A and B are shown apart, each in its own frame.
Chain A
Amino acid sequence: MLLGLSLKLFWRELKSGQLSIMFFALVLAVGTVSSISLFTDRLEKALLAETQEFLGGDLKFESNDLIEDKTYEEIQNLNLKSTEIVLFASMLASGDSLQLASIKAVDQHYPLVGGVELRSKSEKHYVKRPPGQGQVWLDVRLMDILKIKIGETVSIGDADFIVSYSILSEPDRASNSFAFAPKAIINTLDLEKTNVVQPGSRVRFSTVYLGEKEELLLAKSILEKTKQPGDNIREAKDSNDSLGKAIERSGNFFLLGGLLAVLMAAFTVGMSSQRFARRHVEYVAILKSLGTESWEIKLLYSLIFIELGVFAIFLGLILGWFMQEAFTGILKQYFPTDLPTPGFKPLLISSLTVFICLIGFVYPNLVKLVKISPLNILRREESKASNSSYLMFALALSAMFLLVFLYTQRLLLSSIVFFTILFIFVLGYGLILSFFRSKTRLGLGAHNSLSLAWSELHRRKYTNSLQVLAFSMAIGLSLIAFSARTDLMSTWESTLPADSPNNFLINISKSDLNSISSFLEEKNIEESTFYPITNTVIIKLPKGGEEVSKPIDRNFNATWSSELPQGNKVISGEWFKGDSSDGLSVSNDIATRYSLEIGDPVKVFFADQEIDTYIQNIREVNWDNFSPNFFLIGPPEIFKNSPATYITSLYVPKEKDKVISEFMSEFKTVSVLSIDAIINQVNDIIEQVSKALEVILGLTIFSAMFLTLATIQDGFNLRLHQSAILRTFGASTSLLQKSTALEFALLGLLAGLLGALLAQIGIFFLETQIFDLEATFHANIWIMGPIIGTVLICALSIILILSITRKNPKEIIYSS
């Protein structure tokens, strides 16, 4: 019976518009949260699928040696699917052409996930098998260099292979060995006859596993036990994976951006439910007088709000879906594939958001409503201040904290965000309130519209401060996003020196050095230093009291030079002197990360060599100078026998753009990275992400508007009554209209100015901390902020002005 009555009441209230603002605020909150979580959920799923394909499976073990038999057997017992891959560098020969290539030998289980995209003479093929025996698949680049076609023969070591396909894309691209060299794929069964892999050859063995989570964890722990320096274990669902972390962080960042919209929606819901409760006082009195028990009334109203919540979730999810489709549309070009369908997480987060809002901001009003005695209600006596005010406050704060925790899912971060919000709220609210409290003149100020407006602002100072705070935050954040999209990037670009390098040349072989120098000289392009690169692994050796050596678990691309590279500064120790044959130089961030100090003994592995040396100096590196920079540098003497490829950077003026195309066609094995293209792409990404962020902030502005509508609605009857009294005593309609318009224009102006101030502070931090720029005054935001604030809030006031001046004062007085 109660359910039926609650549904009837719910529909009646919704249709009459009494629940509209609360309802739309909730829909907006769900729309905001669900759009963000739907988008990030789909993106995370796509990333996982992509990472799985990138690794070639769920878990990958890479080593310079074959897995020990015992370990191999232990893992075999785990019932995981696996494939073994052998990677090495070798020369490919076709007729007179020779080219160093990265060879990947794969077994019959390859590929474990996804497939290899190949091209025959004219058609594309997607295959899930290794190359047949005697066949090789080649990179298009490699085929161009060797000038061979499908069906022709190439030699790898002692064996000949027929080129059956060119490779368009392949899973298992996550190998960093020989990554710069063009690739060839052969079947493992052909490996022996090539005679290329000999004891001492530089070979990288990879085993990729696919299976259930628990078994993968066991396999990982087995591999961890036998892991040697230079070995590498990677997981598709690796929490340390930087991209995964970045997406999670961006998701949290967007949710926190949306948090403001949700909190405003929560305040709106609180305010509207207060009004709802006031309107239902008589209804409750009648129900109580007729003998309905308190618990039944509480249940009845709880049901109404649960129905409201469910309906809001339903519509909010639809809104959220369309919005995330819009985000997907905006950022589509950056996704490798179509995004997968979402899971249940967005529904869960949205539902929890609604119910936390309802419990934190509506329930206390219901408790208050149900507690009042019927006599109090029928006599319209004010209830005494009760504990429910404290309950209201405590529940609202707890709800706020829960919402923050729901979006960050980290206790410490939630606490920081919560107290920061609380601090900003108290500070901002206090400042705005003190501004509105400044009025001292007696009376309503009804002698002219400006003083009446100011007096109104003063008298409604608490709700006005809340509105101004909400709008300032929404406008401020929107202006920051706008400024990041327009000013900051162009300012940052303009600070780069005009002749800073704009192209990197990578993967240069020693034999190409002279011809590249001649080419650049001929084209009148100034060349800079060519740095040799080799892949190294470092182990920190025991020192003093330490008993066990502590490996630095990563590979470094090291270079060697007797000169300190430009943009580098030795901050500790000394640079290599003369023909020094000992000592290493590390960048300060690496030194900090791995606790390396001057004099620490280390062992360096590179090519087939290992050398004992020590940390001689620590450098500060300017990573923004667009020159090749290195974590690790050694004196040339140490690396004199190491194989190397070379890297350099150069400045090519815009008018000589064609030189790069000529260079690429002449030096096909050299990779060219254009900084301009990267900057353009970064610009583009910032612009697209800002657009997505602006959508979220647009919702925040809508939330602020709902909050304002709720406060207007809350005080509407008082305003109506006041206008009737004033008109009865002879106030003209134009006085009331002008004063209301001025009141809201002042509110909007103040919100806009504070929003601009907030944006200027935010941009100051972006300029000085992120972009390393000099702080500047942004006149445009100081113009836009107040205009946006005034226009938005004035637009809202029109509804109010029309409603209060349309009615006859006599009707208002006699109906109140």
Chain B
Amino acid sequence: MIIKTRNLTKKVSSEEGELIILNDINLELEKEKSLAVVGPSGSGKSTLLGLLAGLDSPTSGEVFLNNRPLHELNEDQRAKVRKENVAFVFQSFELLPGLTALENVMLPSELNRDKDAETRASEYLTRVGLGKRLKHYPRQLSGGEQQRVAIARAFACKAKVLFVDEPTGNLDNKTGTKISELLFEVNEESSNALVVVTHDTNLASKCDNQIELSEGSIA
């Protein structure tokens, strides 16, 4: 198993008292398989993605990523696990505006001290159709192009799991479809596990497994 959770729960305190964001989530994902997490807004999809990727720590329960117990690790230890195992694609792309497309894609490889960072980044940008826009800054690219850069960045990591949060949420239908096709194409080539949080039923249907969240629990 690349991902495994046991009774995963996340609570936050607010002025009205304690809020349960996720309650008793149990799931497993095998290597090279994909999982779609669907559900209405506020159902806890993004929180679950954060916990599975080690961006946040649970209130109780266990979460394992590539057999590492994320629930027992501190922020720096989780960062190390992320560096070695995961990559992300976000709804709002999250590119660094001061870096070119090439530099943005190089970023995770740089953190891994990969000497071939530039070559690999260049290859992946070419793979997503942006071979001629390497030196463009995010502000010089369209929304679809920016998401392609984000996808190239995710795959350039050589991660074991790719976490994707609403990848088509900020794009029009046509571009969204192209992006989701590209995502699965490249993922198939890279043999990663894939966790996709989405509202898009078309995109969810492309995944091997699906879970639906409702008010913090698996429906």
Contact = CB atoms under 8 A, between A and B. Distances in A.
B216 interface: no
B94 A446 contact: no
Residue among A728, A729, A734 having the largest count of chain B Cβ atoms under 10 Å: A729
B107 A443 contact: yes
B170 interface: no
Interface in B72-108: 75-76, 79-84, 86-88, 90, 92, 94, 96-99, 102-103, 106-108
Contact of A734 (B76, B83, B113): B76
Nearest to B55: A810
Nearest to A736: B79
Given A729-B157, A730-B83, A447 B76 contact: no
Residue among B80, B82, B97, B111 having the largest count of chain A Cβ atoms under 10 Å: B111
Interface in A288-335: none
Do most interface residues of chain B lie in helix, strand or loop, or is the interface mixed? helix
A814 B86 CA distance: 18
Contacts of B86: 730
A442 B92 CA distance: 25
Interface string B14-34: 000000000000000000000
Contact of A444 (B56, B92, B99): B99
A484 interface: no
B181 interface: no
A718 B111 contact: no
Taking residues whose C-beta sits less than 8 angstroms from the other chain, chain A's interface range is 20 to 34
Interface in B19-58: 46, 50, 55-56
Nearest to B135: A442
A725 interface: yes
Contact of A718 (B97, B102, B117): B97
Interface of A: 382, 442-448, 459, 718, 721-722, 724-734, 808-810, 813-814, 816
Given A442-B118, A733-B76, A447 B113 contact: yes
Contact of A459 (B90, B98, B113, B117): B98
B188 interface: no
Contacts of A733: 75-76, 79
A731 B81 CA distance: 10
B59 to A, nearest CB: 14
B208 interface: no
A447 B79 contact: no
Given A442-B103, A447-B110, A722-B96, A729 B88 contact: yes
A813 B47 CA distance: 12
Contacts of B113: 447-448
A439 to B, nearest CB: 12
Given A718-B97, A734-B76, A729 B46 contact: no
B19 to A, nearest CB: 15
Residue among B81, B94, B118 having the largest count of chain A Cβ atoms under 10 Å: B94
B56 A732 contact: no
What are the 9 tightest A-B residue pairs by CB atom distance, in nearest-first order?
Answer: A730-B83, A810-B55, A730-B82, A446-B110, A729-B108, A810-B50, A447-B113, A443-B106, A732-B76
Given A729-B88, A816-B92, 16 more contacts: A443-B110, A444-B107, A444-B110, A448-B113, A721-B94, A721-B96, A726-B107, A727-B79, A728-B82, A729-B111, A729-B157, A730-B82, A730-B83, A730-B111, A808-B56, A814-B46
A444 B139 CA distance: 18
Contacts of A813: 90, 94
A808 B110 contact: no
Contacts of A442: 102-103, 106, 118
A288 B84 CA distance: 50
Residue among B87, B107, B112 having the largest count of chain A Cβ atoms under 10 Å: B107
A808 B97 CA distance: 21
A721 B102 CA distance: 19
Residue among A446, A728, A808 having the largest count of chain B Cβ atoms under 10 Å: A728
A725 B102 CA distance: 16
23 contacts: A442-B103, A444-B106, A444-B110, A448-B113, A718-B97, A718-B98, A721-B94, A725-B94, A728-B55, A728-B82, A729-B82, A729-B87, A729-B88, A729-B108, A730-B79, A730-B80, A730-B82, A730-B84, A730-B86, A731-B79, A732-B76, A733-B75, A814-B46
Contacts of A816: 92
A809 B110 contact: no
Interface residues of B, number: 35
A443 B110 CA distance: 8
B118 A808 contact: no
A732 to B, nearest CB: 5
B107 A729 contact: yes
Contacts of A809: 55
Residue among A443, A448, A724, A725 having the largest count of chain B Cβ atoms under 10 Å: A443
B76 A445 contact: no
A382 B97 CA distance: 14
B116 to A, nearest CB: 12
A464 to B, nearest CB: 13
Contact of A445 (B46, B75, B80, B110): B110
B54 to A, nearest CB: 9
Contacts of B46: 814
Interface string B167-211: 000000000000000000000000000000000000000000000
A721 B97 CA distance: 10
Contact of B108 (A445, A724, A730, A734): A730
Contacts of B76: 732-734
Contacts of A810: 50, 55-56
Nearest to B97: A718
A445 B76 CA distance: 19
A443 B79 contact: no
A444 B102 CA distance: 11
Nearest to B110: A446
Contacts of B98: 459, 718, 722
Contact of B96 (A444, A732, A808): A444
A725 B56 CA distance: 14
B63 to A, nearest CB: 14
Nearest to A808: B56
Nearest to A460: B98
Contact of A808 (B55, B88, B103): B55
Contacts of A731: 79, 83, 111
Contacts of B75: 727, 733
A731 B80 CA distance: 7
Nearest to B87: A729
A382 B96 CA distance: 17
Interface string B119-143: 0000000000000000000010000
A728 B87 CA distance: 8
B187 to A, nearest CB: 18
B210 to A, nearest CB: 23
Contacts of B92: 816
B83 A443 contact: no
Contacts of B96: 444, 721-722, 725
Contacts of B107: 443-444, 446, 725-726, 729
A442 B76 CA distance: 26
A728 B88 contact: yes
Given A443-B118, A447-B110, A732 B103 contact: no
A728 B98 CA distance: 18
Contacts of B139: 382
B41 to A, nearest CB: 13
A185 to B, nearest CB: 82
Given A729-B111, A733-B76, A734-B76, A444 B84 contact: no
Contacts of B103: 442-444
A731 B113 CA distance: 11
A729 B55 contact: no
Nearest to B95: A725
A3 B98 CA distance: 40
